[in-house]
A and B are shown apart, each in its own frame.
Chain A
Amino acid sequence: ETGVTQSPTHLIKTRGQQVTLRCSSQSGHNTVSWYQQALGQGPQFIFQYYREEENGRGNFPPRFSGLQFPNYSSELNVNALELDDSALYLCASSLLTGGADGYTFGSGTRLTVV
């Protein structure tokens, strides 16, 4: 079990609905990154948060948004869900000044949109 906790583990939503996924960082980590992993694909970078501000964004539409809280935990919000949003959503915490080998992934939230 990693030091990064994600909730919920599974979720089923209807097309058009909104969803919030949560991530608690590993102790001491100040940066959170979110990835989307569709079935049979590698994870794709959504965005990263550092000190409560977005610190980089991948090729995802604005209906994907996030928050980081003072305790470094984070939320990923997706509005107007589409069927293609069905995927495993992974959160990774790290130190901004640390190396990429310091990434710690959570176990993910499996989102199914029907």
Chain B
Amino acid sequence: EDKVVQSPLSLVVHEGDTVTLNCSYEVTNFRSLLWYKQEKKAPTFLFMLTSSGIEKKSGRLSSILDKKELFSILNITATQTGDSAVYLCAVGVVGSNYKLTFGKGTLLTVNP
């Protein structure tokens, strides 16, 4: 059975701190790993990673995938209160027509 594990499950930081969120996976026929931000209800897409070692960046957020060690990290620098959310990691597999297997998420709270 495909498995995605995120850590930590929750994290409290102060504005300006840098955080690293972790995602490890065990799946057959890996195709892609995705990160989402969920503030209230609808998860919003952040990154999709398919190749090892290539960092993707968007503003203060960045992510990288290690297909040998089967994990990914999401970094957020200079955190702001608006970064407070649940961050979800999901994995897609070949042949599944984009069924995604999600981790439980990391609840990030950024205090002023």
- Asked if chains A and B come from one complex, the reply is yes
Instruction: Please list the residues of chain A having a beta carbon within 8 angstroms of any beta carbon in chain B.
Output: 2, 4, 31, 33, 35, 40-45, 48, 50, 55-56, 58, 88, 90, 94, 96, 99-101, 103-108, 110
* Inter-chain contact A107/B42, CB cutoff 8 Å: yes
Subset of 26 A-B contacts with CB under 8 Å: A33-B99, A40-B104, A41-B104, A42-B102, A43-B43, A43-B88, A43-B90, A43-B102, A44-B102, A48-B97, A48-B99, A55-B97, A56-B96, A58-B99, A94-B98, A99-B48, A100-B31, A100-B34, A100-B92, A103-B34, A103-B98, A103-B100, A105-B43, A107-B40, A107-B42, A108-B41
Using a Cβ–Cβ cut-off of 8 Å, how many residues does chain B contribute to the interface with A?
Answer: 26
* Inter-chain contact A100/B98, CB cutoff 8 Å: yes
* Inter-chain contact A99/B43, CB cutoff 8 Å: no
> Complex formed: what's the CA distance from A104 to B102 in Å?
15
The prevalent SS among residues of B at the interface is: strand
Most chain B CB within 10 A, of A43, A94, A108, is at A43
Instruction: Please list the residues of chain B having a beta carbon within 8 angstroms of any beta carbon in chain A.
Output: 4, 6, 31-32, 34, 36, 40-45, 48, 88, 90, 92, 96-105
> Complex formed: what's the CA distance from A56 to B29 in Å?
16
* Inter-chain contact B97/A106, CB cutoff 8 Å: no
* Inter-chain contact A100/B48, CB cutoff 8 Å: yes
Contacts of B100 in A (CB 8 A): 43, 45, 100, 103
